[in-house]
């Protein structure tokens, strides 16, 4: 409930603020006997690293991950794996001017309301930088379910659209679709921990997300049962469905078809246009941001969507193993 842990049998706890000394993750429940190197984790982290192109934030970070525990002679030991990344490029002074006001679209106000104070530097814990730990854990989750393949892609916006809003000092939202292939049947469970329910929570836990849909999703609203039901057929001795409106999940349990879901993101809250807001003490003020920021988080969010999906499936895979008696 404190809210910084995710998963049951494969469980991660992330920690760290955008401008603190470091950020990291502890992975508890990784089975023993898996090969694991810092290089493999680094490879995933590099996919979400800022500063890679014109359209992503220009903040430069080495983001070098260190394995601090749980791996011995290159093999996981079954004990907690602690991963840490030092925060190297921290221009905290940039944030002095937002210290006493509430940026629209950001969590400044709600953190203050909940905790009575906040680490205002770079969004603190609400920063997308927190997801470094999730992506690092992705490298490990994949090893538990090596046959299952996660592939997220940007549906919208185009890079052209991103460049256009960037010129305007504005930002834009977007849509990511994720396909999961080679999913065994039987993952997930009835009622509250339905596989799609867990994916929904996982996706809405990513900063900036506003919606989740699986299979025919919001289109189902206008569909008829005769259109939406996926008929079962046998194909090469395997039970499959002719169509896949279910998105690979029936009654909360995987049916062996591809899992397909989409995640809606709002535009980045930080824009370089003038905005009205209020200060901590309740005075009207005007906010004019400047500095380095993504006009669109989507390109960097792709591996995060895959990571969260993999965390759910690795966890459910272990749960499914447990009841095979």
Nearer to a copy of itself, 45 or 87 (CB): 87
Find the binding residues for a copy of itself in span 89-128 (CB under 8 A).
102, 104-107, 109-111, 113-119, 124-126
What is the phi/psi pair of residue 119, to 5°? -85, 100
CB 172 within 8 A of CB 295: yes
Tell which one of 179, 185, 244, 258 touches a copy of itself (CB under 8 A).
185
Q: Which helix (H) or strand (E) holds 166?
A: helix 159-167
> Bridge partners of 279?
101
- The verdict on 251 binding a copy of itself (CB under 8 A) reads yes
The span of 4-12, 39-47, 49-57, 299-307 binding a copy of itself (CB under 8 A) equals 4-12
How many residues form the binding site for a copy of itself (CB under 8 A)? 151
Tell which one of 37, 53, 66, 182 touches a copy of itself (CB under 8 A).
66
Nearest to 49 by CA among 134, 137, 138, 129: 129
- The verdict on 241 binding a copy of itself (CB under 8 A) reads yes
The span of 8-16, 38-46, 54-62, 299-307 binding a copy of itself (CB under 8 A) equals 8-16
Nearer to a copy of itself, 45 or 172 (CB): 172
What is the phi/psi pair of residue 291, to 5°? 125, -150
What is the phi/psi pair of residue 156, to 5°? -155, 150
Nearer to a copy of itself, 57 or 82 (CB): 82
CA 291 to chain centre: 24
- The verdict on 13 binding a copy of itself (CB under 8 A) reads yes
- The verdict on 159 binding a copy of itself (CB under 8 A) reads no
The span of 39-47, 48-56, 57-65, 274-282 binding a copy of itself (CB under 8 A) equals 274-282
Find the binding residues for a copy of itself in span 187-226 (CB under 8 A).
189-194, 196-205, 207, 209-218, 220-226
Q: Round to whole Å and give the CA distance between 111 and 99.
A: 13
Tell which one of 36, 41, 63, 70 touches a copy of itself (CB under 8 A).
70
β-pair type (71-72, 5-6)? unpaired
Nearest to 142 by CA among 321, 324, 320, 317: 317
Q: What radius of gyration do the chain's Cα atoms show?
A: 21
């Amino acid at each position: 409930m404190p809210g910084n842990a995710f998963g049951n049998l494969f469980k991660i706890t992330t920690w760290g603020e955008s401008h603190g000394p470091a950020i990291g993750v502890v992975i508890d429940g990784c089975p023993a006997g898996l090969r694991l190197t810092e290089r493999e984790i680094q490879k995933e982290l590099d996919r979400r690293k800022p500063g890679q192109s014109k359209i992503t934030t220009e903040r430069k970070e080495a983001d070098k991950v260190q394995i601090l525990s749980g791996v011995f002679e290159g093999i996981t030991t079954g004990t907690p794996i602690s991963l840490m990344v030092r925060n190297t490029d921290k221009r905290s002074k940039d944030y002095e001017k937002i210290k006493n006001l509430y940026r629209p679209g950001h969590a400044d106000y709600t953190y203050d309301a909940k905790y009575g104070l906040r680490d205002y530097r770079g969004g603190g814990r609400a920063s997308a930088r927190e997801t470094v730990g999730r992506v690092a854990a992705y490298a490990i989750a994949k090893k538990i379910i090596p046959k299952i393949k996660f592939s997220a892609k940007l549906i919208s916006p185009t890079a052209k659209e991103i460049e256009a809003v960037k010129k305007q000092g504005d930002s834009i939202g977007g849509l990511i679709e994720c396909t999961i292939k080679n999913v065994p049947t039987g993952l997930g469970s009835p009622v509250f921990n339905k596989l799609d329910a867990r994916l929904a929570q996982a996706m809405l836990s990513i900063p900036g997300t506003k919606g989740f849909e699986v299979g025919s999703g919001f289109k189902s609203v206008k569909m008829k049962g005769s259109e939406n039901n996926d008929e079962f057929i046998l194909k090469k001795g395997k039970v499959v469905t002719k169509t896949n409106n279910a998105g690979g999940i029936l009654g909360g349990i995987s049916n062996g078809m591809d899992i397909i879901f989409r995640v809606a993101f709002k535009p980045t809250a930080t824009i370089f246009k003038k905005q009205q807001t209020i200060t901590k003490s309740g005075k009207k003020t005007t906010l004019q941001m400047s500095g380095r920021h993504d006009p669109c988080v989507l390109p960097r969010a792709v591996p995060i969507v895959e990571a969260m999906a993999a965390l759910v499936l690795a966890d459910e895979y272990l749960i499914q193993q447990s009841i095979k008696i």
